[in-house]
Amino acid sequence: MDQLISDLGQIVGPRHVLTGTDMARYSSDWLHQYQWQPRAIIRPATTEQVSEVVKLANRLKIPLVPMGGNTGLAGGTCGEAALVLSLERMAAIREIRPKSKVAIVEAGVILSNLHAAADAEDLLFPLTFGARGSATLGGVLSTNAGGSNVLRYGNTRDLCLGLEVVLPNGEIMNLMSELHKDNSGYNLKHLMIGAEGTLGIITAAVMKLQAKPKVYATAMIATTSLASALTLLNDLQHATGGAVEAFEYMPGFYMEQHQKLFPNARQPFAQVHDTNILVELASTSADLAAQDVTGQPKLMQHFETLLAAHLETGAILDAVVAQNQAQRVAFWERREQAAEVTASHPRLVNNDIALPLESVAAFLDQMKTRLAEIDPQAAALVVSHLGDGNVHYAVWPASHDKAVQDDIMEAVEDVTLSMGGSFSAEHGIGLTKLPSMRRRKNKAALQVMRAIKHSLDPNNIMNPGKVVPAAD
């Protein structure tokens, strides 16, 4: 062990090999569902240092677990007896190219820092979610994170043009292309995105930027049902040429639990409604950003006219349009504090599923019945990126029985797959969804995944035991 620490210190510098109590903050996940004891924490500063660390680990057959901001929700950074490779020192934004609308970044760049760098060039990096102040680019690429703006801009995969990856043998694979089209063989970039560090360590990336919107229109809306909400979404998209950036669903129970945890938060409506939607439109058009004599942008006028039409039909029960940035921020805070609300219960069965949009309401109805059969006192805390069909279906079980909690997870899988959905949408597989992969993933697909893993990582050092379950 002493020799290993010495060898690692020779690569990254002794100060950047952490052991003992210095490893504490790298030894638990954000939800505190997993705790582990690493061999050491390694903090490289360059891709070349990562390469040398990987070569050493591969030679000695020591497990290696990459870690970004450690904000994951599926146990993907659990590193018992492993070398945990923190990329926090590799946090340079190497270049912003405004004309090409790309950013060349290292994997340790914190998401909010890329937001700020793009904003300084009057551009936008559209990936956003509540943990943006700690999540890193390497982490979001490794899980193919989604967030609130997938409806308009796509997942992380859709925002990446190129990657730099250290393979399990320590070789550096340079895929740092800025091309939008490249059909020269297998798409190895997409193989690495979403692999959660099991096939290699992402060290840098070329990310797409977008034109910065000149105007936003944001509202909290209460509708009669999810069906009415989806009708509104389609009408808004059609009337605005696809300007809807976010369409977020918060049921009445979530609103009540949020108020309990954040009692000073101002409620958008005088009463609690069953179906609450956070809608945000945005436009780069100078015409839509132009203000009338009252100071109201044209996009806002258009938005309010559309909402008024739905109010007249009775499909919308209430609506509050943000009149300034402070109100917009308050609306978003309620949605982005979902992780804190979810984690406020001592027991949690956490599900992150994807469904066809028209199936979300049916899923919730069926799960209400199934959950009552399994654990009658359990409560479902739901929030959803409704515009893309991603439902965060967290259950607060009343039962302490692990078997009951497993039954809840399997019931969610049953209903989800019966509707053509996926049991994993944006949080990744990690450890939490390994049983789901074993039960539900197509057997041929699992065989292909195992073959790829073994071919690239025959010593099984790269984040072992995650994503792909071992063969029976």
Q: Residue 448 — pLDDT band, cuts 50, 70, 90?
A: very high
The CATH 3.30.70.2190 domain(s) of the chain lie at 215-338
The mean pLDDT of 414-419, rounded to a whole number, is 97
C-alpha torsion sign, points 91, 462, 197, 31: negative
Residue 183 has pLDDT above 80, yes or no: yes
| Alpha carbon 223 to its chain's center | 27
Is residue 408's pLDDT more than 70?
yes
The amino acid at 391? V
Residue 78 pLDDT > 90: yes
Domain with CATH 3.30.70.2740 in the chain: 345-440
CATH number assigned to the domain covering 93-211: 3.30.465.10
State pLDDT tens for residues 26-53.
999 988 889 999 999 999 999 999 999 9
Reported as a single tens digit per residue, the pLDDT across 137-147 is 999 999 999 99
What was the pLDDT predicted at 1? 61
Q: What is the pLDDT of residues 150-159, one digit of tens each?
A: 999 999 999 9
In this predicted structure, the answer to whether residue 294 has a pLDDT above a threshold of 90 is no
* The CATH number of the domain covering residues in 345-440: 3.30.70.2740
Read out DSSP for 30-63? TTSS-B---SEEE--SSHHHHHHHHHHHHHHT--
pLDDT for 73 equals: 86
Structure token pair of residue 242: 């696809």
Going 352 to 355 to 360 to 366, the CA torsion angle's sign is: negative
Report percent pLDDT > 90 for the chain.
96
Fold of 215-338: Alpha-Beta Plaits (3.30.70)
- pTM of the predicted protein model: 0.94
Residues of the chain with CATH 3.30.43.10: 2-86
Which CATH topology does 2-86 take?
3.30.43
- State yes or no: pLDDT of 415 exceeds 90: yes
For 254-340, strand residue ranges (E) read 275-283, 316-321
Distance CA(319)–CA(300), nearest Å, equals 13
Using one digit for the tens of pLDDT, what is the confidence trace for 225-247?
A: 999 999 999 999 999 999 999 99
- Compute the mean pLDDT over every residue in the chain, rounded to the nearest whole number: 95
Bridging pattern class, strands 102-106 and 349-354: unpaired
Q: What distance in Å separates the CA atoms of residue 423 and residue 389, rounded to the nearest whole number?
A: 12
3-state secondary structure of 221: strand
Residue range 309-319, pLDDT digits in tens: 999 999 999 99
